[in-house]
Structure 1
Amino acid sequence: MSDLNNVKVILFDLDGTLIDSVPQLYLAVQAALKSNQLSAVSIEQVRDWIGNGADVLLKRAICQQYHFTDIDETLFQQVKSQFDHYYQMGIDRDYSLYPAVKETLSVLAQAGYSMAVVTNKPDQFVQPLLQSAGIAEFFTYTLGGGRLPVKKPDPLPLYYLCEQFKVQPTETLMVGDSKNDIQAARAAGIPVVGLSYGYNHGEPIENSEPDWVLHRFDELVSLLNAEVRN
């Protein structure tokens, strides 16, 4: 079990961790598929397919399966263009903050932690969604998919944020709901919390063996003793 006494920075995943964005992603995926005369998918499928970035989500939707096959590049780009359009149009609706997220982020900020968002969601959507949700103010940095050559589960995004904050991995905590978060943190040498209420491709987060499993976001406060930290 990792020691949290030295933690100065907390890195958060976005979808499935801070925000339940399945409904808005589902609507944008459906609109993009319909625009290209492709078969519809269910909201349950979209929930299971989230986590590896929008490109992978769309390829899964086009092929109607998690492990997708080769896709015509022209078709993919058409679907992606439509998805980007519809998702941007709906960025301020059809989502919800998970319970106690804003209140918990406020407590952690007051306790002296620096915080960032690291997500595979395309970078251009991250700040607008955080602003709409009213929690952008809590994060010193946000890092979305496409800003770096690789995404989680590669550790590079986590290393990059450690460099921005000028902290060591052992001074950092990763909080996420997916095996991608757990694997990235493990590879980076960062202690990691797995949240049980997120998406994680339909698998229990316990299977990925995070250092801690939490069932509510506000349990972070007691885990970090944030209410008594100076």
Structure 2
Amino acid sequence: MTRERVLVLDLDGTLVDSLPHLFRAFREAVRPFVRRAPSDAEIVATFGPAERGCLERLLRNPDLARPDSLAHLEDAHATFLRLYQANHAEGVRLFPGMETVLRVAEQSGWQLAVFTGKGRPSALFTLEQLGVLPRLAVVVTSDDVPRHKPAPDGIVAILQHCGVKASQALVVGDAPADIVAGRSAGCCTAAALWGAFSRTDLLAAQPDYILHQPTHLLPILREFRRD
């Protein structure tokens, strides 16, 4: 079967239900080095770069930081990576319905790809642990591109790797940055409302589709036509 289309999925909050586990790892990684532990909202506000960049933003946050907080960045990063892998099996799973989405996409002639703000080690760890990695044509992380989301660099790299035109790609994500990146690359976009960001924020990014649950992707995958 010729696979001339590609489904580009964000990872955390879109493909995998990992955010509570991720928040705990970030919070405990910086807790010894800040005046108080960050809230979920403060952690989400750092998303974009890979985890080391997120940790740096937390340690620079004037509402959290002590004078010496940033000096502990490498310790915080090492702790994060250790905590993220610990109890991963209990804390990270595919969202309900996502296995069906992946199977239908494959059966309908789509290539599968992931573009994530995570660093490459943690992204590959999660995808391998969940058995998804062998099904993907390519994984692009924030470590792999000069500019992270909302820049379209990662999506452009995926299109080039897969040999697919932007008009034949569907980008799905739970963050406005996912939608902006997809639109900037010339792709069709779908907002996942089951993730970390509000419907209002996602609508402001002007996605082509609004998805209330993963299985709402199924008719789109079966009927997608775009020149």
TM bucket normalised to smaller: 0.7 to 0.9
**What whole-Å deviation, never above 9, does each CA across 1:114-142 have from its counterpart, x for those lacking one?**
11001010011112111222322331111
CA spacing shift, 1:30–1:73, aligned 2, 3 Å: closer
1:61 aligns to 2:46 (yes or no)? no
1:217 aligns to 2:214 (yes or no)? yes
In the aligned structure 2, how far is the partner of 1:63 from the partner of 1:151?
Answer: 19
1:148 aligns to 2:145 (yes or no)? yes
Q: Following superposition of structure 1 onto structure 2, how do residues 71-150 of structure 1 map, counting pairs within 5 Å?
A: 73-150=70-147
Task: Give the TM-score taking structure 2 as reference length.
Answer: 0.84
Q: Secondary structure at the match of 1:108?
A: helix
CA spacing shift, 1:58–1:203, aligned 2, 3 Å: farther
Cα RMSD for the two superposed structures? 2.9
Per the alignment, residue 165 of structure 1 pairs with: 162
Counting matched residue pairs gives 221
Percent of aligned pairs sharing the same letter: 25
Runs of 4+ in 1 over 6 A off after TM superposition: none
In the aligned structure 2, how far is the partner of 1:63 from the partner of 1:148?
Answer: 24
List runs of 5+ in structure 1 lacking aligned partners.
1-5
Does the 8 Å CA contact 1:51/1:200 hold for their aligned counterparts? no
CA spacing shift, 1:50–1:205, aligned 2, 3 Å: same
Q: Secondary structure at the match of 1:41?
A: coil
Shift of 1:106: 0.8
Shift of 1:93: 3.2
Task: Give the TM-score taking structure 1 as reference length.
Answer: 0.83
